[in-house]
Amino acid sequence: MAYDADTTTNEIIADATAAGIDLTDRRFVITGASSGLGEESTRALAGAGARITMLARSPEKLDAAAARVREAVPDAQLDFGTVDLAEFSSIRACAAALNDAGDPIDVLINNAGVMACPQGTTADGFEMQFGTNHLGHFLLTALLFPAVQAGADPRIVNLSSGAHSISDVVLDDINFEQSEYDAWEAYGRSKTANALFSRGLAQRFGDSGLVSFSVHPGAIMTELGRHLTDELMEAMMSRAKARAESAGESSGGMHFKSVEAGAATQVWASIAAEAGDRNGSYLADCQFGEPGGNPSSTGFSDYLLDDATTDRLWTLSEELTGASFG
């Protein structure tokens, strides 16, 4: 089946079902599940019989999202947990509660994030976007990893973005102490880190059966954009145009997706994308990404393939979080 930017979660689920992929009672843990892509992924997967543990900061927003999911899927199997990915103590408490339940995790979708927010720091003193989007998920994944390893055909999906092309990770200046803070630069660094995290997971644990992908969902208007001012929006559109032109495309217009299309790639990554020799890859528009192409669609920057940076990021992340996958 040929997929593209307009493929929806319903199409992915229908094709997976037709191919004999049975999600009945498979357990998915999804961060940022109280709205947007996380909520849509929950709806789609629950509709196919999966059991979903929805994680988010706000219990009230989780309740509201669960009610919306159950309107569409009355028999949805939903569990809940609260976590603030900008606070290590909250992450540890959430992981402890999930681990105490003793259930394997078949798929972990690290979907939550912040985008282009004003300069700030996490509770543990890290730049907010790198600290939340990467370090928070790195710690959560490490703490849940034994449960993931116990899952059937385990997968870990990390939400990256075409905005990774704004910047490689700058491991010697993660807190912008040596450079002026730029909201998009910080976001780009964090999204590169998300992609390299999947690459690192695949390199370290692929031989034991783990599959990990990073995903560019595309441009979707969700709560993620709550910090976007007119100035930041203009900067985003300008960068997208420049990326398209550098990839040899005449139009720099961004293709905005529905939430159903935006969540399709992470659903595909979590249930149907065949890793083969491409474990750890970057996916977009329900396809494997293309190095050097337009990152607003399926292209990605060459530094997502840098093994030395992948290793340095992994080591630094272990040091900063105190986490270990050993």
For 58-78, give one letter per residue: b (16+ CB within 10 A) or e: eeebbeebbeebeeebeebeb
User: How many angstroms separate the first and last alpha carbons of the chain?
Assistant: 38
Percent helix, strand, coil in the chain, to 5, is: 50, 15, 35
Q: What tokens appear for 144 in the block? A: 């849940």
CB-CB neighbours of 192 under 10 Å: 30
Q: Which amino acid is at 188?
A: G
pTM of the complete model: 0.92
- Reduced to 3 states (helix: H, G, I; strand: E, B; else coil), residue 159 is strand
- The Cα–Cα gap between 133 and 110 comes to 9
Per-residue pLDDT of the chain (326 residues; tens, 9 = 90+): 689 999 999 999 999 999 999 999 999 999 999 999 999 999 999 999 999 999 999 999 999 999 999 999 999 999 999 999 999 999 999 999 999 999 999 999 999 999 999 999 999 999 999 999 999 999 999 999 999 999 999 999 999 999 999 999 999 999 999 999 999 999 999 999 999 999 999 999 999 999 999 999 998 865 555 545 556 555 455 555 555 455 455 445 567 899 999 999 999 999 998 999 999 999 999 999 999 978 878 999 999 999 999 999 999 999 999 999 97
- Between CA 143 and CA 98 the distance in angstroms is 10
Catalytic residues: 160, 187, 191
Q: What pLDDT is stored for residue 271 in this prediction?
A: 98
Give me the amino acid identity at 149. Answer: Q
All structural domains of the chain, each given as residue ranges with its CATH number in brackets, are 9-317 (3.40.50.720)
Task: Give the chain's largest Cα–Cα span.
Answer: 54
Tokens read off for 139: 């710690």
